């Protein structure tokens, strides 16, 4: 801290004032004490001298303020650490399993046409009894001959769970470059003396804003997808409710590659995003995800969104994806998705809607496949949801979501000549109604509770697998 010599000489009393603690009021009192006489000369201080003295002190204070600000700027951290803990309690109906096996005598099966063509036929939606924002389900079920990583494995018992512990690092490499890493720690049950906890890197990206206006971003690394809108709130602190939609498995994965996004016109009325990635935008737990490619073909995806009316806070988007099928050893068979989405805000109410279709051929009849790299087939006939979120007060909000998913997923081809056989088939004709409430205690604590009613339609029988779940998100 620097003080001018003049101030020091003319004001004996506050000469020891480098500490920022003394208030100006105290300085004024000190000034009053030596009001009339200059101690050095014995000549009465005229008012102008006192004013000059005070001005000097103001200059000193300004200088100290500038220095403090400079110090504060220099001490700004390059890396900031954030994250959250997501803890919950859940209770599932029945065994908490979303599917049942279509087995038994052919005549009594729900889908007898598949009876002699696939080793296992399941009906329902394996991911519908979700208990947390990660999309983990209460139980994956026990089926002879099928090994799955059943991370929750509750067997239908209600219980507490630490859904996720997240650590997010942001590093400002320059004013126009931001590196982000997001790591999830997931504590789960061990097995046979091994620890069940696991870790997941879901974001590891560099975002570079090459233009002065900052309206174009180039991403490199492992990043959010560009399909639809749900990926924007795939993490607990951002998501209004708790569980992801039935189509989140196709759109909220974090593929590896490069991505570009540009905003155009006033108010970002048009936004275009495009990505080239190893695999699809499906989630890592799902059949199709391929983090590191096993084929040369890459996946191209993109989205165009418009805000048609400046006065209306409404965004409409069209997105699609096309690329070599994940897990395939070559790029001959494509997998694709396309969809439309809508996002609107009316005061404290948000409206979100998304519709998606997709397909992948899976194994073809005339080709030989490596048993360790068998591509899944997909026929997503319809998938979509409509969600309304309403913050009734700044603290309390409610939400509701209605959705459906009509899809076939299979592994293997009954007509394949290589003889490895048709492994399994999932038949889904599901709808779901979700209602919930949230309380934003403060910016660091959010409490949510929701109920999912899972229903089936068509020839798929009703499966008792409703879920009540809750989530306490502690954001730091």
Partner 1 sequence: MNRARNFSSCGRLVMAMTVALAPLSVVAAEREKSAAEPPPPSGADFARLQREVAEQRQLIIEMMRVEQQRYDMMLRLLQSGGQAPPAAALPPPPALPPPAGTGTSATPVTGSGTAVASSSGGSKSGERLGTVSGRVDARNGSLRDAYVYVDLAKGGSGRGHTLEIKQKDKQFWPQTAVVLKGTNVIFPNMDSVFHNVFSTSGRNSFDLGSYRSGDTPRSVVLTTPGVVEVFCNIHSKMNANILVVPGPLFAKVGADGSYRIENVPVGARKVVAWSPSAKPAQQKIDVGSGGGQANFTLEIEAGKAHTNKLGQPYGSYKE
Residues at the interface with partner 1 (CB under 8 A): 20, 23-25, 27-28, 36-37, 39, 41-44, 47, 50-51, 54-55, 57-58, 61-62, 64-66, 68-69, 71-73, 75-77, 80, 170, 172, 175-178, 180, 207, 209, 211-215, 217, 219, 224, 232, 261, 268, 313, 345, 348, 391, 393-395, 397, 440, 443
Quote the least distance from Cβ 434 to partner 1, whole Å.
21
Smaller CB distance to partner 1: residue 101 or 176?
176
Smaller CB distance to partner 1: residue 115 or 391?
391
User: Measuring CA to CA, which residue among 164, 120, 158 is closest to residue 139?
Assistant: 158
Whole-number Å distance between alpha carbons of 123 and 274? 35
Quote the least distance from Cβ 24 to partner 1, whole Å.
4
Quote the least distance from Cβ 209 to partner 1, whole Å.
6
Contact 309, 345 (CB under 8 A): no
Whole-number Å distance between alpha carbons of 91 and 386? 25
Smaller CB distance to partner 1: residue 57 or 287?
57
Smaller CB distance to partner 1: residue 115 or 342?
342
Quote the least distance from Cβ 124 to partner 1, whole Å.
33
CA angle 366, 144, 200 (to 5 degrees): 80
121 CB-near residues (< 8 Å, 6+ apart): 101, 102, 103, 109, 111, 114, 115, 424, 425, 427
Quote the least distance from Cβ 372 to partner 1, whole Å.
36
Smaller CB distance to partner 1: residue 15 or 368?
15
Tell me the angle at which helices 47-74 and 24-33 cross, rounded to the nearest 10 degrees.
Answer: 150
Q: Which residue has the tokens 């480098």?
A: 18
Quote the least distance from Cβ 172 to partner 1, whole Å.
4
Quote the least distance from Cβ 206 to partner 1, whole Å.
11
C-alpha R_g of the chain: 31
User: Measuring CA to CA, which residue among 38, 87, 4, 1 is closest to residue 446?
Assistant: 87
Quote the least distance from Cβ 338 to partner 1, whole Å.
21
Strand partners, 435: 400, 451
In this structure, the number of other CB atoms found within 10 A of the CB of residue 354 comes to 25
Smaller CB distance to partner 1: residue 350 or 363?
350
Contact 404, 382 (CB under 8 A): yes
Smaller CB distance to partner 1: residue 50 or 331?
50
Smaller CB distance to partner 1: residue 54 or 306?
54
User: Measuring CA to CA, which residue among 48, 124, 62 is closest to residue 93?
Assistant: 124
Quote the least distance from Cβ 171 to partner 1, whole Å.
8
Quote the least distance from Cβ 470 to partner 1, whole Å.
21
Smaller CB distance to partner 1: residue 52 or 101?
52
Whole-number Å distance between alpha carbons of 384 and 355? 4
Q: Which residue has the tokens 């209600």?
A: 158
CA 441 to chain centre: 21
CA distances from 278 to 325, 332, 443 (A): 10, 15, 36
Smaller CB distance to partner 1: residue 47 or 116?
47
Whole-number Å distance between alpha carbons of 46 and 43? 9
CA distances from 104 to 107, 140, 423 (A): 8, 21, 17
3-state secondary structure of 323: strand
3-state secondary structure of 113: helix
User: Measuring CA to CA, which residue among 262, 328, 264, 253 is closest to residue 296?
Assistant: 328
Smaller CB distance to partner 1: residue 44 or 458?
44
Quote the least distance from Cβ 142 to partner 1, whole Å.
39
């Amino acid at each position: 801290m620097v003080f001018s010599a003049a101030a020091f000489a003319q004001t004996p009393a506050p000469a020891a004032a480098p500490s920022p603690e003394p208030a100006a009021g105290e300085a004024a009192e000190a000034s009053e004490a030596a009001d009339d006489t200059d101690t050095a000369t014995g000549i009465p201080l005229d008012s102008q001298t006192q004013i000059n003295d005070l001005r000097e002190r103001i200059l000193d204070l300004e200088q100290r303020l500038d220095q403090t600000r400079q110090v504060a700027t220099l001490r700004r951290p390059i890396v900031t650490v954030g994250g959250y803990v997501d803890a919950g309690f859940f209770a599932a109906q029945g065994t908490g399993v979303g599917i049942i096996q279509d087995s038994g005598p052919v005549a009594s099966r729900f889908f007898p046409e598949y009876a002699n063509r696939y080793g296992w036929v399941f009906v329902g939606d394996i991911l519908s009894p979700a208990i947390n924002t990660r999309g983990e389900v209460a139980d994956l079920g026990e089926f002879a001959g099928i090994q799955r990583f059943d991370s929750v494995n509750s067997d239908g018992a209600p219980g507490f769970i630490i859904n996720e512990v997240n650590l997010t690092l942001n590093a400002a490499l320059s004013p126009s470059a931001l590196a982000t890493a997001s790591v999830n720690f997931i504590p789960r049950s061990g097995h046979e003396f091994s620890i069940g906890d696991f870790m997941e890197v879901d974001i590891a990206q560099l975002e570079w804003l090459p233009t002065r206006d900052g309206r174009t971003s180039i991403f490199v690394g492992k990043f959010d997808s560009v399909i639809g809108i749900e990926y924007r709130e795939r993490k607990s602190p951002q998501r209004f409710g708790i569980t992801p939609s039935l189509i989140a498995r196709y759109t909220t994965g974090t593929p590896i590659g490069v991505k570009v996004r540009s905003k155009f016109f006033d108010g970002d009325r048009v936004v275009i995003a495009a990505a080239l990635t190893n695999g699809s935008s499906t989630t890592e737990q799902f059949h199709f995800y391929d983090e590191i490619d096993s084929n040369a073909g890459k996946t191209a995806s993109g989205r165009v969104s418009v805000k048609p009316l400046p006065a209306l806070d409404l965004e409409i988007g069209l997105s699609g994806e096309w690329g070599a099928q994940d897990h395939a050893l070559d790029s001959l068979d494509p997998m694709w998705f396309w969809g439309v989405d809508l996002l609107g805000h009316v005061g404290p109410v948000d409206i979100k809607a998304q519709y998606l279709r997709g397909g992948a051929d899976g194994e073809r009849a005339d080709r030989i496949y490596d048993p360790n790299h068998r591509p899944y087939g997909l026929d997503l006939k319809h998938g979509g949801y409509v969600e309304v979120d309403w913050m009734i007060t700044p603290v309390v909000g409610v939400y509701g979501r209605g959705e459906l998913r009509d899809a076939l997923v299979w592994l293997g081809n009954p007509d394949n000549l290589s003889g490895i056989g048709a492994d399994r088939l999932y038949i889904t004709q599901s709808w779901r109604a979700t209602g919930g409430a949230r309380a934003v205690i403060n910016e660091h604590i959010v409490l949510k509770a929701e109920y999912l009613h899972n229903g089936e339609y068509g020839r798929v029988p009703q499966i008792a697998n409703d879920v009540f779940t809750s989530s306490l998100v502690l954001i730091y």
